Amino acid sequence: MIEIFAIFLTLLSLTLFFNFPLNYFLLNNISKIRFTHNESFLINIVLNANILLLLSFFQINLNQVFFVFIFGSIFFFIKFFKEYLELINRNIFTILSFIIIFYSISIVLLKKAFLEWDGLAHWFFKSSVYFQGGTYEDLAGLPYDYYPHLGTYIWAFFWKNSLLQVEYYGRLFYVFIFIIAIFTLRHKLTKKFSEFNKDVIIFILILLSSNIFLFGGYQEYFLFFIFFTFSHFFLKFLYVKKVDFYFFPEIFLILTSFCIMWIKQEGFFYYIILNFIFLIHSQISYKKKLIYLFIVTTLIIIFYTIKNYYFGDLRFNESFINEETFKNLEIQYLFEKILIITKYFLISFFKYPIWIVILISFFILSNKYLLFNKTKFVFTYIMLIFIFIFAIFLNTPDDIAWLAPLTLNRIVFATSGFLIFLIIDLLNKNAK
């Protein structure tokens, strides 16, 4: 029984923590762009992730930081008490659906509380260091110490601030941000759908995207969330070019992509891909694009400088140029590897069926509704992600017949977050 209550407190603490600093009502009072309540959560998760990233380099009391944010959130709740009552009353069934789904996944996670291979071999050690009051400097010497650490820091943060202080309560953060992302899509569904039908669609999307294995210490749901948030707000901001909003859209997208560099190794390349897409397809002025590019480049330099200072260089599992690079010059050898990668690429789509629905939506929208004319960035993203994934596995000296089944499906799933809105677009067009 105490575990069930601990889940409730964790959900409550996650909700309060990410309802600050840009409270929903405050955000819409100061903004010329309208945001839904779920979008305010997305914004705060990104902002707070960047704040926690900064704090991870210093000796900070995690409990004190937690309570500062909680009290700030409670202050806004009291300030906008009547508005919140009205908001809750209007969305009571959606809130109940969210709670039920969160509890369902959390209970399964707690029943299967052990960490999976990567969670135990790579990520748990980093989380433990932060739980015990360590800093970024203390990560040196751990297994795979050069791996990014943001996800493990937030894991430790909510582990430290959970009722029972058992590590898997910290991992409920991944459950929370995943469900928040999917529920954000609910508000994009047209009014042609009843409230019940909207809940059914959201439930199906969560079902098609859920894998309890990935909550075993992996970082893929955090990556999924970042991809989702970037594409969601890129679309939202893409058509508000006439609204002067103090460069906030661009800064927010930069902060969103910045998180991804600190989650997993491949995040460095995802960062480049996401910001390249913005620079190519956004409708902002060239002056703003130059400022954007300058900030993005500066953050890469900061990232490199930090990695170089603590670990000697910006390390990856393999060098960009290695013996495998030259082996790929043999056409037959290269072709055999491409076939193996393609095989496991297709298997990944069936392991995470959300990709099958995305691809069906993509082809229907492209052929019937001329998707290319409206959202060219989707084609750019798909092309760059496919090239990147093939490049990774072609260049690794490891046996890809062994490596691809273990890792490729997780990479494919994480990147689906960017495209999941296509399903909603197709449903809305058919509803009309």
- Name the residue among 130, 205, 220, 213 with its Cα closest to residue 174: 220
Q: What is the pTM of this model?
A: 0.95
> Is the same domain home to 323 and 310?
no
> Is the same domain home to 323 and 280?
no
DSSP code of 71? Answer: H
Which residues, at least 6 apart from 31, have a Cβ–Cβ distance to it below 8 Å? Answer: 245, 248
> Is the same domain home to 275 and 419?
no
Whether residue 222 contacts residue 151, with contact meaning beta carbons closer than 8 Å, is answered with yes
> Is the same domain home to 213 and 249?
yes
> Is the same domain home to 196 and 147?
yes
Whole-angstrom distance, CA of residue 325 vs CA of residue 321: 6
* Boundary of a domain, candidates 316, 345, 376: 316
> Is the same domain home to 49 and 71?
yes
Ordered DSSP codes for 153-185: HHHHHHHHTSSS--HHHHTHHHHHHHHHHHHHG
Scan for tokens 């994934």, then name that residue: 389
- Report CA-CA distances (Å) from 304 to 14, 28, 95, 135, 256: 31, 36, 42, 18, 18
Whole-angstrom distance, CA of residue 168 vs CA of residue 156: 10
In order along its 432 residues, the chain shows pLDDT tens digits of 788 899 999 999 999 999 999 999 999 888 878 899 999 999 999 999 999 999 999 999 999 999 999 999 999 999 999 999 999 999 999 999 999 999 999 999 988 878 998 888 889 999 999 999 999 999 988 888 889 999 999 999 999 999 999 999 999 999 999 999 999 999 999 989 999 999 999 999 999 999 999 999 999 999 999 999 999 999 988 765 555 555 778 899 999 999 999 999 999 999 999 999 999 998 888 888 999 999 999 999 999 999 989 887 777 766 667 777 777 778 898 899 999 999 999 999 999 999 999 999 999 988 887 776 667 899 999 999 999 999 999 988 888 889 888 899 999 999 999 999 999 999 998 886
Whole-angstrom distance, CA of residue 247 vs CA of residue 288: 8
Whether residue 183 contacts residue 94, with contact meaning beta carbons closer than 8 Å, is answered with yes
Query: Which residue range forms the structural domain that includes residue 416?
Result: 319-432
> Is the same domain home to 334 and 312?
no
- Report CA-CA distances (Å) from 53 to 76, 126, 351, 372, 383: 24, 13, 32, 37, 31
